[in-house]
Amino acid sequence: MKTDKIIIANLKCSGCENTIKTKLAELAGVENVTVNHEDDSVTIVHNEENNRDAFTKKLHDLGYPEATEENGLLLQLKSYASCMIGRINK
């Protein structure tokens, strides 16, 4: 098993957390996803079927780019939509 920790932008609430956990868990080989609001991180435990690039791409697509990445208005709007979906599905 391997663990990757990714610091992200736009993490706001439990709705965001729910969406992130749900969508990353759908990726092949993911065993566990933990979201930490204090340091804006996502920790993924996986069996290496996917790699860090696949996780950062999925997070980016959901509106949660890596903290080092440019965070424009479109990504912020995507994160709000992901957050709302996460709240509804919770």
Q: Once rounded to an integer, what is the mean pLDDT over residues 56-79? A: 86
Cα dihedral sign, 61-12-29-3 = positive
Q: What is the per-residue DSSP string for 31-78?
A: EEEEEETTTTEEEEEE-SSS-HHHHHHHHHHHT--BTTS---HHHHHH
Second-level CATH architecture of 2-89: 2-Layer Sandwich (3.30)
Q: Once rounded to an integer, what is the mean pLDDT over residues 64-83? A: 81
Q: How high is the pLDDT of residue 85?
A: 82
Contact 55, 28 (CB under 8 A): no
How far are the Cα atoms of 8, 30, 33, 60, 78 from residue 74, in angstroms, in the given order? 15, 27, 25, 11, 6
Q: How high is the pLDDT of residue 87?
A: 81
Parse the chain into domains and list their residue ranges: 2-89
In tens, the pLDDT along 3-41 reads 999 999 999 888 999 999 999 999 999 999 999 999 999
